[in-house]
Amino acid sequence: MKYCFRIFVIVTLCLTCVACQTTPQSKPLTEMSTDEKQAAYMYGPVSSPKQEHHALKKALVITGVILVALPIAILTGFAATGKQIHVGK
């Protein structure tokens, strides 16, 4: 069980890190043509800036709270039924 949980945590962490990486919002100046450079300087960005994903941030917060709350709830349930939790020898 511990091995499966460790693998799950590692895979989830890797996917989260990859998903949270940002990409450049526009082309670098060296790749722009003269007309594109002129438009960028005179009229500002060619496309509107991308807005942050509030839903993704909210989902990550909710998932984190659930992952923290589950062990606490399980331990509280054990304490309510009178079971003893032995740690160590």
- pTM score of the predicted model: 0.34
- Distance between CA atoms of residues 41 and 10, nearest Å: 45
Side-chain half-sphere CA neighbours of 29 within 13 A: 4
pLDDT digits (tens, 9 = 90+) for 70-89: 888 888 887 777 666 666 66
- Distance between CA atoms of residues 65 and 76, nearest Å: 16
Q: Give residue limits of the domains in the chain.
A: 50-80
pLDDT digits (tens, 9 = 90+) for 9-53: 888 887 777 766 655 566 777 788 888 888 777 776 656 666 767
- Distance between CA atoms of residues 57 and 60, nearest Å: 5
* pLDDT of 61 strictly over 80: yes
| Rg of the chain (C-alpha set) | 24
